[in-house]
Amino acid sequence: MADCDQFDKEDAQNAQPTGAKIWLSLWKSGRSVEAHAVSSIASLGISLTDFAVLEVLLHKGALPVNTIGKKVLLTSGSITTAIDRLVQKGLVERLDSVSDRRVRMVSLTKEGARQIKIAFAEHQKHLELAVSPLTKDEQRQLVELLKKLGQGADLLLSKP
């Protein structure tokens, strides 16, 4: 008589994935990679919020406070507190916008740029380790498929 547990495992491996199975796989793998990323940032001696703000400024340049908040998913009050903390540490500075006097821009200081470049390079090494079970070709394929999935899901959300 066949072992039922073995049959269930084989059946699950050969079954066509469902939307629920794909979502569950994305959720579980996303949480695992996220835990790796959070641990990596913590090992750098910087808070997740400060790292996120500094990383956005490193890659996008000077930005208005509210734009940074949207990019790092912080409320208006939380992003103001985060920017104040980074200003006190000498890592960012607030500047007047040249095109709109009502807008305050946030920019990395020289020290802030130096620190986030070092921290981001180290974090990038940790992330490379997290995705190392996949070959470089599989990593490229995964990125393409995830973009396609996300764009398709976004289109469905925008339909009435």
Q: Which sequence spans correspond to the domains of the chain?
A: 37-158
- Has residue 6 got a pLDDT over 60? no
pLDDT classification of 159: cutoffs 50, 70, 90: confident
**Residue 106's closest CA among 51, 160, 54?**
54
CATH architecture label of 37-158: Orthogonal Bundle (1.10)
Cα-flanking dihedrals φ and ψ of residue 51, to 5°? Answer: -60, -45
pLDDT digits (tens, 9 = 90+) for 47-71: 999 999 999 999 999 999 999 999 9
Q: C-alpha dihedral over 39, 85, 67, 40, to 10 degrees?
A: -10
Helix (H) or strand (E) holding 105: strand 104-108
Q: How high is the pLDDT of residue 7? A: 43
Report how far residue 120's alpha carbon sits from residue 46's, in angstroms, rounded to the nearest whole number.
11
- Has residue 4 got a pLDDT over 80? no
